[in-house]
Amino acid sequence: MQQPEIFDSDIRALQQWLRSAWQRLGDPSLTTYSRRELRNQMKQCSADLRAHLQRLAEQRAQPVPPPATIVAKPDLRILSW
């Protein structure tokens, strides 16, 4: 995998985790301690997601160097009749 693909998969995984964490947070069977720990984990995950998005934006903002074109001297022959 290349670097942008890794960032994309990491971002998708973090977004999915946050989505499921929000659903778990609404569960009435969670204890106060569990709810607090889940919120702390969500804050950390949100910070990681922001960092990944920032790195991806910086990477996409960098100009891509054009491919180097190699101009070779043509192989010419003089033919006489």
Average pLDDT score, the chain: 85
Please give the C-alpha separations between residue 21 and each of 1, 14, 38, 49, 57, in angstroms, as whole numbers. 28, 10, 7, 14, 25
Q: Give the pLDDT score at 43.
A: 97
Helix segments in 1-81, DSSP class H: 3-25, 32-61
Sequence spans of domains, the chain: 33-63
The answer on pLDDT for 39 being more than 60 is yes
Whether the model pTM is above 0.85: no
